[in-house]
A and B are shown apart, each in its own frame.
Chain A
Amino acid sequence: GENVEQHPSTLSVQEGDSAVIKCTYSDSASNYFPWYKQELGKRPQLIIDIRSNVGEKKDQRIAVTLNKTAKHFSLHITETQPEDSAVYFCAASRRGGAGGTSYGKLTFGQGTILTVHP
Chain B
Amino acid sequence: SAVISQKPSRDICQRGTSLTIQCQVDSQVTMMFWYRQQPGQSLTLIATANQGSEATYESGFVIDKFPISRPNLTFSTLTVSNMSPEDSSIYLCSVAVRANYGYTFGSGTRLTVV
Mark the stretch among B13-21, B41-49, B67-75, B79-87 that contacts chain A.
Answer: B41-49
Q: How large is the interface on A (under 10, 10 to 19, 20 to 34, 35 or more residues)?
A: 20 to 34
CB distance from A82 to the nearest CB of B (A): 21
Once the chains bind, are A32 and B101 in contact (CB under 8 Å)? yes
Size of interface on B: residues with Cβ below 8 Å to A: 22
A-B contact count (CB 8 A): 51
Known: A49-B101, A100-B101. A108 touches B33 (CB 8 A): no
Tell me if A107 is interfacial: C-beta within 8 Å of chain B.
yes
Once the chains bind, are B101 and A95 in contact (CB under 8 Å)? yes
Known: A101-B98, A105-B48, A106-B33. A46 touches B43 (CB 8 A): no
Once the chains bind, are A43 and B42 in contact (CB under 8 Å)? no
A42 contact set on B, CB distance < 8 A: 107
CB distance from A70 to the nearest CB of B (A): 22
A44 contact set on B, CB distance < 8 A: 43, 92, 105
Q: How far is the CA of A44 from the CA of B92 in the complex (A)?
A: 10
CB distance from B112 to the nearest CB of A (A): 14
Residue of B with least CB distance to A113? B40
Q: How far is the CA of A106 from the CA of B48 in the complex (A)?
A: 10
A43 contact set on B, CB distance < 8 A: 92, 105-108
CB distance from A92 to the nearest CB of B (A): 12
B-contact 0/1 string along A83-118, CB 8 Å cutoff: 000000100010100001111011111110000000
Q: Which 10 A-B pairs have the closest CB atoms?
A: A103-B96, A43-B105, A108-B43, A108-B42, A111-B42, A110-B42, A43-B107, A105-B45, A44-B105, A103-B31
